[in-house]
């Protein structure tokens, strides 16, 4: 069994490797068996989440995660912690334990990047990032990988100094990035808008969207969370990563305006059952709701990349004290 350090893997892994793995896994149209357990701590924004997925040919994955949004206020702790265990589907043998906050960040960003590649304008030049928490930098990296046409990144956050800090970090890596004190100003100039907040009231308004924009809604994963207003949903064609885990479960799509209006999900798009962008003026919205099937796809990809390497050759992978497979 392997102990895989996702943070170490993230430092060298090409984002397109994970995006293409997700595309391939969705093309069959098969999700497998997936279950979710969510515990929300009353009186706090904190929650614990367990995803379990089983798909023949890929394996069995169980991810346990905690989400503590207030951690980002102090900056001392990541707001998401997770551990993933991957098992062989045929015999139930444990193959790997994957730790590190980069696992969920890369899974989430890969999910959005695949949708972006399927739905966003090919010549998109400006990206607006609403929310400057721990997910943001990984998201920018993955979106930029599928849209190398992006030339400018505008960051907004409710706490302005965090937007400045993220913009500075992106500039250090060679990006043309700036902070904006206005979410509206950031959105009005963007071809792609990604929302990475824990908002319970909309931070994105449909009146701000330019024709042809692609919107990536990421932060909300409970019915009470909401990043976009009704006008966003009225103006756009709506897509999700899976219909099962977004409609009625995630606040942006659980409201009456969106319910029943979602055109399709990544399985539909990747298999060709549903057409993506139909023209340059069309606005598209993708709800990134996550799901254990995505954890399984990413865990299996990491395992496949690392299983034939020894400790000296497999970057980011440690052999567990119980021995290696």
pLDDT band, very low/low/confident/very high, at 43 (cuts 50, 70, 90): confident
| Residue 148, token pair as written in the block | 């190398």
Q: List, for residues 137-171, the tens digit of each pLDDT value.
A: 999 999 999 999 999 999 999 999 999 999 999 99
The answer, yes or no, to whether residue 246 has pLDDT greater than 70, is yes
Closest CA to 80 of 108, 101, 55, 52: 101
Q: What is the mean pLDDT of residues 34-43?
A: 88
Contact 101, 78 (CB under 8 A): yes
pLDDT of residue 40: 87
Q: List, for residues 51-110, the tens digit of each pLDDT value.
A: 999 999 899 999 998 888 777 666 667 777 889 999 999 999 999 999 988 999 999 999
272: left (phi over 0), alpha (psi -120 to 50) or beta: left
Domain coordinates in residue numbering, the chain: 2-104+292-319, 113-287
Q: What is the mean pLDDT of residues 189-213?
A: 97
Closest CA to 12 of 309, 321, 322: 309
Compute the mean pLDDT over every residue in the chain, rounded to the nearest whole number: 90
pLDDT of residue 313: 37
The answer, yes or no, to whether residue 135 has pLDDT greater than 50, is yes
pLDDT of residue 189: 95
Contact 2, 306 (CB under 8 A): yes
Compute the distance between CA of residue 204 and CA of residue 209 in angstroms, rounded to an integer. 9
Angle between helices 102-119 and 292-306 (to 10 degrees): 110
More confident residue, 181 or 79: 181
- Range with the poorest average pLDDT among 3-12, 129-138, 192-201, 240-249: 240-249
Q: List, for residues 254-285, the tens digit of each pLDDT value.
A: 887 887 899 999 999 999 999 999 999 999 99
pLDDT of residue 75: 63
Backbone φ, ψ for residue 46 (5° rounding): -85, 150
3-class DSSP state of 303: helix
Q: What is the mean pLDDT of residues 121-136?
A: 96
The answer, yes or no, to whether residue 324 has pLDDT greater than 80, is no
pLDDT of residue 73: 65
More confident residue, 307 or 233: 233
Q: What is the mean pLDDT of residues 109-122?
A: 98
Indicate the CATH number for domain 2-104+292-319. 3.30.1780.10
pLDDT of residue 323: 31
Q: Considering the domain 113-287, what is its CATH architecture?
A: 3-Layer(aba) Sandwich (3.40)
pLDDT of residue 325: 29
């Amino acid at each position: 069994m392997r102990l895989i350090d996702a943070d170490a893997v993230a430092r060298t892994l090409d984002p397109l490797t994970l995006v293409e793995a997700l595309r391939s896994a969705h093309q069959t149209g098969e999700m497998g068996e997936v279950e979710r357990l969510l515990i929300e701590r009353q009186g706090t924004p904190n929650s614990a989440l367990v995803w379990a997925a089983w798909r023949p040919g890929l394996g069995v994955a169980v991810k346990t995660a905690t989400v503590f949004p207030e951690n980002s206020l102090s900056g001392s702790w990541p707001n998401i912690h997770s551990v993933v265990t991957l098992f062989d589907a045929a015999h139930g043998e444990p193959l790997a334990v994957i730790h590190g906050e980069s696992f969920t960040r890369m899974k989430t960003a890969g999910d959005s990047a695949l949708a972006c590649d399927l739905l966003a304008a090919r010549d998109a030049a400006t990206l607006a990032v609403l929310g400057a928490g721990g997910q943001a930098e990984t998201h920018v990296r993955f979106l930029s990988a599928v849209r190398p046409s992006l030339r400018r990144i505008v960051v907004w956050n409710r706490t302005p100094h965090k937007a400045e800090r993220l913009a500075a970090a992106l500039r250090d890596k060679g990006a043309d990035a700036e902070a904006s004190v206005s979410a509206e100003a950031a959105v009005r100039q963007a071809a792609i808008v990604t929302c990475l907040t824990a908002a319970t009231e909309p931070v994105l308004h449909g009146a701000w969207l330019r024709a042809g924009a692609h919107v990536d809604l990421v932060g909300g994963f409970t019915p009470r969370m909401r990043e976009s207003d009704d006008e966003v949903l009225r103006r756009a064609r709506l897509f999700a990563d899976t219909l099962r885990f977004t409609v009625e479960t995630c606040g942006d799509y659980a409201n009456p305006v969106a319910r029943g209006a979602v055109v399709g999900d990544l399985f539909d798009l990747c298999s060709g059952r549903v057409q993506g962008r139909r023209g340059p003026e069309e606005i598209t919205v993708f709800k990134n709701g996550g799901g254990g099937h995505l954890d399984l796809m990413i865990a299996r990809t990491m395992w496949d990349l690392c299983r034939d390497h020894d400790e000296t050759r497999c970057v980011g992978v440690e052999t567990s004290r119980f021995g290696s497979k």
